[in-house]
Structures are given as structure tokens and as C-alpha cells.
Structure 1
Amino acid sequence: MLPLALYALWMAAPPQPISVTPLEGATHHVQGIVVDGTSLWVTSVDRLAKKGYLYEFELATGKRLRWVEVQQGSMFHPGGFDMDEDSLWIPVAEYKKDGHTVIQRRSKATLAVLSSFTVDDHIGCLTLMEGHLAGGNWDARKFYEWTFDGRFVSVRNNPNASHYQEIKYRYGALMASGGVVHWLDPEELEPLRTYTLGKTDRNVPYTNEGMDFRDGKLYLLPEDGPSRLFVFDPEQVYEPAKP
């Protein structure tokens, strides 16, 4: 535990990213990200055009490689998403709090829809857990679980005040981003660890939208286009216990 003076100093000096990469082209209103080897996948929405997008960027340079529209009827709002070895799992919802959602499984190779199922709620974030899918509704006030073929498993209330925009199951914990980044116990949804960050030089909170954790690095995409990918050392953003 830090002495009070050192804790105050830590709080007064927000951690800085170890790298910042601008992304090529328009990204509209950013929703979620997935880091996949040398690629960065991004979902975004254009509310006026009623279109949702999936992009693939080169992780190291921010060069845009591919993109595809993901809207389906009245559902055009993609959310936070996740992947397995061959597929991307993307929730695409109606742009309203209690709207419907289609969960799309898209091929990484072709970007085509391989399968899908619908949910009678607005699912804004989704991740793959051990043997099933998990997702949060608008502001993640509820957490759902489904089988991979779309059968409902369970729903429970979010016990935390944070309104999560992105969730990821990584290294046995459920990471959830919204204001702060929480490592949650996947069974109880209680915070095990907290990452606290500041704002970009555009006055946007780093934890505003897209988040992933890969290979010991925290990746954040908070800004709408022109978007920038911020990478942090998690040990620098871990909030120590208050004296």
C-alpha cells in the first residue's frame, strides 16, 4: 500500500500511453475493438446514414485493410465484440435502449456472415467465455449468457455502478471498460482490479469506447474519427490501494 503522499502524486499524474497510432480513413462513431495478431478490428456506427461498419486495420501502422457494412434491417448499431480463431462475433442492435439485436458470426477470411441469432434486448458489448457467449445490454445494466448456437443460458443484474461500453474475457477474468477499466470476477462480477486513466488531448476519456487486452498491453480506441489507438502498460495504469 502506498503512503498517502505517493498515492496523491499517482492520482495527480495520469499514466501516459506507450504508443499512439492514428487510423486511416473515416471511422464514424467508434464502438468496439479486437486486437488479433497483426490486425486491429473495429466496429463503428453512422447514425444519420443508419449504417454499421466492421473495419480491419494494420495494427502497427493504422493502415485500413478491409471494411464491410454490418447493418441488418432496423439493426445498424454494432457494439463491443470478440473473436475466436476463425470468426468475429458482433452484436448489431437497433439504436434504442430496449431494441432488438442480431448476434452475427462473421468469417475473418471473407467478412461474410456465417451464422446469426437474435436477442430481444439491445446488446451493446459481447465476449467469448469458456464454452459460451456473454454480453451486456445498454450500459451493461444486465449481463446475458448464450450458447454459441444462440440458446439463452442466463441473465443477471450488474452490481456495479459503472456503465460498461466494452467487455472482454481475458486470462480468466472479465474486463469491463466504462469510466474505468475493471477486472471482474466472472462469477460474482465484483471488481478484482481497477485501471484508472485520464483523457486524451482532445478531452476524451481513454476508456470511452473500444478496449482490448492482449500480450500484456491495454489497447484503447476512445475517439471518433479521426481515431487514434492508444496502448498502455497495464502496470502503469493499475490504481494502487488508497492509504
Structure 2
Amino acid sequence: MSAMRNTLAIAITIFTTIADSSANAEIIQAGRTISERLKTFDRNTVWKPVEQITLNFPTFHPQGMVKIGDVFYITSVEITKPTIKYDQPRDGYDRDTGEGKGHLFKVDAKGNLLEDLALGEGSIYHPGGIDFDGTSIFVPVAEYRPNSAAIIYKVDPKTMKPQEVFRYKDHLGGVIHDTENKTLNAVSWGSRRFYAFTFDNAGKVTNADVERTKLAKLNPSHYIDYQDCKYLGASEMLCGGLTAYQTKKDGPKFSLGGLEIINLASNQPVYQVPVQLWTEAGLPMTQNPFWIEPADKGLKAYFMPEDDKSTIYIYEAQGK
């Protein structure tokens, strides 16, 4: 019986490994299609609204989103005590930690909450942008202030069980798992710094003890700050975000959203396209999480810009 159980366990492990590899290959294939098609988009591309999903629960401040089948996984920060900025920096920080709770929501295609996983500890309660590698959802949770600290988790989407991967002394967000180069890539507060953390064959991070002044690479792109990122394969990631601009001196501000493809080897943007879509209240669609996938000859995008009472806005677009 023992030999039979061992054989069965080995068979299950092999089957699971093959299934995970197949899922990862599909993700990379989809990513290459997204990269190819998005590079034909420009500021005149027409985004056609196709559907809206109203979320039927308080969403707080959403940050990252992935879609696996018909199920959405969404990170959000629930702020119970806002951060307060200091008159002068204290111990290298511009504000206090505030208080809050980190969430990973599992949501069905009709906007119903299926599960709510709490993530973080103490002052580390701010989840960021997330991605799925075919096996796990990688979730960064950080303090709600720059130059702080973060915990990176990976979560099994089936069981919703989290596992801590590593900790780092900076605010990390927008993580993706580059399975081809065995790195976990992340951006800092405001996406001003890029990070590449290396996995060994056992899945352990080998350079989590390297301080940011030595490990981080500066982001040369400044027209948007990234909110959420997705792996595209072939050393590319796609990030969405926004920045507020003024129309004139002392004039009103408006927020411009956009999408950028970044080369992970050079840490350079290789394609940038504005997304000129706003909610009726004036929020840019790329303000919070997004998800994107191939659709027919074009792309289908899912945007979730609103806090608290959120809607997922679904658009389709084709390039030239």
C-alpha cells in the first residue's frame, strides 16, 4: 500500500507540474499576442465599451487585478486611519504609517464576492498590482508610504492559501513573475524604481538582502506612474497607470491614463499609448487595476477605476 501511495503521489505531482507548465505557456503565448497587437495601437485607437460588471460589495481602494477563467482576483487596501504627512522627514519617511487592512478578493463574473483573503501584518497593509504565472498569484503588500517595507506573497487561486516569498526594505508594487528568466520584477512607490529579484532552482529569492541603492534601476519614463503590471513573455511587462497634469498655471488638474510596455532587460519603455477613457465622474480608466487579454483580432481590456462602489468596465479595441 505504501508503494502504491508513493506511486500515486508521484503521478499527481507530475500531472500537476505538466498542467502548471501548460498554463504558464498559454499565459506567455497570450502575452506575446498582447504585445504584438498593442504595439499597433496609438492615441487615435477607438476603445469600444462592451460590458460593465457592478461589484456587489465594498471594494475600498482597489490596486491589482487578474482574471483566471471567469473569476476575478482583486487586491485592495482598506484604510482605517489615513497616513499623516510630516512637516519635516523623520527617519527617512515623509509620513507616518497610518492604519489599514489588506485584501485579496475573489469575485465571480456577476460581481459577487466569493472569498476575502486578508494579507499583510502591522503597518504593512497596502497590497499593490498583481499578476498570475499559471500557478500562483504574486501579491506585494507594503507600508502606505515611500521608501518603506514590503512582503511578497504567492497565493494559490484555488485554495486562496497565501505563502510568504520574501521581504524587502522598500515599498514594492506592480509585481510580475518572469518565469523564463526566473525573476520576480517589481516597481517602487510611484514606479520610480525597477527591481529584479532572482529565484534559484528551489524557488528561493537570492538577492532580497541587497539594499535598494545597489539593486534598483531608475525608471526613465515619467509621463505616468504605474498602478498594475502584467507579464508578456520575452522579457516584457505591461503596466497601466496615470498622472495628474495641470491645464495651465494655477489651473485645474486632469488625469491622463496610459499603458506602457517595458523591456525587463534594459528597464526601458518600448511602447507607450495613452488611454483616453474616463468614467462619467471623470476618473481615468487606468486609475486602479486593469486586466487585458486577446479578443478576436484585437484586445479586450478590463478597468476598475472607482473606490468603494466599483464597476469593472470592459472595452475592446483593434490597432492598425
Q: Deviations over 1:154-195 (max 9, x none)?
A: 531111012111111125432111121112333332232414
* Aligned with 2:100 (options 21, 41, 50): 50
Aligned to 1:105: 154
Q: Deviations over 1:172-221 (max 9, x none)?
A: 43211112111233333223241422211121110101012223322211
* Aligned with 1:83 (options 132, 135, 147): 132
Partner amino acid, structure 2, of 1:57: V
Q: Deviations over 1:25-79 (max 9, x none)?
A: 0110111101111111000001116101000111x31121111111212200000
Establish whether residue 170 from structure 1 lines up as the match of residue 253 from structure 2: no
Aligned to 2:263: 185
Aligned to 2:141: 92
Mapped to 2, the partners of 1:81 and 1:116 lie a distance apart of 14
Provide the secondary structure at the position in 1 that maps to 2:216: strand
Mapped to 2, the partners of 1:191 and 1:225 lie a distance apart of 34
Mapped to 2, the partners of 1:147 and 1:36 lie a distance apart of 26
Superposed counterparts of 1:15-164, under 5 Å? 15-48=47-80, 50-58=100-108, 60-129=109-178, 130=180, 131-148=182-199, 149-152=204-207, 154-161=215-222, 162-164=224-226
When Rg is computed on C-alpha atoms for both structures, the one with the higher figure is 2
Per residue, is there more helix in 1 or in 2? 2
Provide the secondary structure at the position in 2 that maps to 1:200: coil
C-alpha spacing 1:221/1:201, structure 2 compared with 1 (3 Å): same
- TM-score using structure 2 length: 0.66
Mapped to 1, the partners of 2:56 and 2:77 lie a distance apart of 16
Cα RMSD of the aligned pairs, angstroms, is 2.2
Partner amino acid, structure 2, of 1:228: T
Mapped to 2, the partners of 1:175 and 1:115 lie a distance apart of 25
Preserved contact between residue 21 and residue 62 of structure 1 (Cα < 8 Å)? yes
C-alpha spacing 1:183/1:195, structure 2 compared with 1 (3 Å): farther
Mapped to 2, the partners of 1:55 and 1:114 lie a distance apart of 16
Q: Cα offset for 1:19?
A: 1.5
Mapped to 2, the partners of 1:152 and 1:37 lie a distance apart of 34
- TM-score using structure 1 length: 0.85
Provide the secondary structure at the position in 2 that maps to 1:190: strand
Mapped to 2, the partners of 1:125 and 1:26 lie a distance apart of 23
Establish whether residue 205 from structure 1 lines up as the match of residue 284 from structure 2: yes
Partner amino acid, structure 1, of 2:133: D
Q: Deviations over 1:60-105 (max 9, x none)?
A: 3112111111121220000001122332110000111111000011
Preserved contact between residue 185 and residue 192 of structure 1 (Cα < 8 Å)? no
Mapped to 1, the partners of 2:197 and 2:147 lie a distance apart of 18
Preserved contact between residue 197 and residue 207 of structure 1 (Cα < 8 Å)? no
Provide the secondary structure at the position in 1 that maps to 2:226: coil
Partner amino acid, structure 1, of 2:277: G
